[in-house]
Chain A
Amino acid sequence: MSERDLFEYALRLGDDALTLGHRLSEWCSNGPYLEEDIALTNIALDHIGRARMLLAYAAKVEGAGRDEDQLAYLRDCREFRNLLICELPRGDFGDTIVRHFLIDAFHVPFFGALARSDDPTLAGIAAKAVKESRYHLRHSSGWLVRLGDGTGESHARVGAALSRVWGYSHELFATDELETRLADAGIAVDREALRAPWNQTVNEVLAAAGLERPGDDWRIEGGRRGDHTEHLGYLLAELQFLQRAYPGLQW
């Protein structure tokens, strides 16, 4: 197992958490009502907390004198390694709930498996994250059922959101040589093995919500290679503004 691989893996997971947490934080003061505003931003905090732990670990493994803030604020789009599903615009409440449901249903088995990693730091972060993700999944699956099984309007809108986001969900299971090497070394999670538990959760909740599972006729990937959607640039422009405008600023 090379340090370079481990750095890249921690960076991928850290970038997933950072972009997803940032998108959720955009709901702060924009939530549909006060309690939900607080729920969305509390979940955002969990993801941003994970981003901090994972990027701090990536920086430590890299050993190049960078810290988690420099990784978050001073890299450009092509250097980001997050999955595309994490960077999509927050959209309407239906888009947000669908995105989080598909990811939470993945995170529960993913972090459960990563908690058994031979890398003690990743295992520790995952053991903490899996408990939070179970709560996140209760939140997002509860909403998916309420929206899908709600009014004609909510059913139609959440169904449209599902077909917009679905094609991005395949990248959750995409594996490359690096992750295969790390999985063989007992460090990384075999994503392919998570399809069955993910399918089970997704099918059960979609059935309860009265929503049809979309077809797999399109898929978009590329985040791990740095090939992003046009949306990431705008996200980073806001996320990184302060450090770009006032380099080294602290408060």
Chain B
Amino acid sequence: MVTATETTAALARPDDPEAGRVWDLLAAVTDPEIPVLTIADLGVLRGVEADGDEWVVTITPTYSGCPAMHAIEDDIRGRLAESGIAARVETVYDPPWTTDWLSAAGRAKLRAYGIAPPAEASSSKRSLLGLDPVVACPQCDSRNTAKLSEFGSTACKALYLCRSCQQPFDYFKCL
């Protein structure tokens, strides 16, 4: 069984200088739905490898039906084309994406953007038992919050209400 730590290790920027350069260009591509997050922050960018004259960029979707994947693929090809780099994008499903791959920087950026980051590890007992986590309001930090809907503005988020500041907010679900 592959643990989250092992799979996260595979996300590191490649050591090879050429591959590292391509990685750095791609690491700046942002999620069209959450423009403060890069595909590297999200863990959607899985790998960069040379294949002859062409680069193969591997990505994985957050959710099966994530409609942002097409835009992300186009942005990846566009970004590399600007630098004269030929690339093809391949999508992998295994290992399945998990919110555990969200970087610490990514979590902080989410909160600053007004989206509560995943409250706990996807393997935590509460998460496995399907219990609702305690979610802190990204606006006022209150823990007095309530879930309004299992699904928010996108499939990866739920809709919450802060009972302290009375503001609704999106919560990035543990997956």
Contacts and interface: CB of A to CB of B under 8 A. Distances in A.
Interface in B94-133: 94-98, 122, 130
Contacts of B142: none
Given A131-B175, A138-B130, A124 B66 contact: no
Nearest to A50: B64
B150 A127 contact: no
Given A124-B92, A138-B130, A35 B148 contact: yes
Interface of A: 21, 35-36, 38-39, 42-50, 53, 120-121, 123-125, 127-129, 131-132, 134-135, 138-139, 142
A132 B95 CA distance: 15
Given A124-B92, A127-B95, A139 B151 contact: yes
A135 B152 contact: no
Interface of B: 61, 63-67, 92-98, 122, 130, 148-155, 159, 173, 175
A207 to B, nearest CB: 18
A49 B173 contact: no
A49 B154 CA distance: 14
Contacts of B151: 35, 38-39, 42-43, 139
B158 to A, nearest CB: 9
**DSSP majority for the A interface?**
helix
A49 B94 contact: no
Nearest to B155: A42
Nearest to B149: A35
A42 B155 CA distance: 5
Q: What 6 A-B pairs come out closest when comparing CB atoms?
A: A49-B65, A124-B94, A45-B65, A49-B64, A39-B151, A124-B93
B154 A132 contact: no
Given A36-B149, A39-B149, A46-B155, A127 B93 contact: yes
Contact of A53 (B93, B130, B149): B93
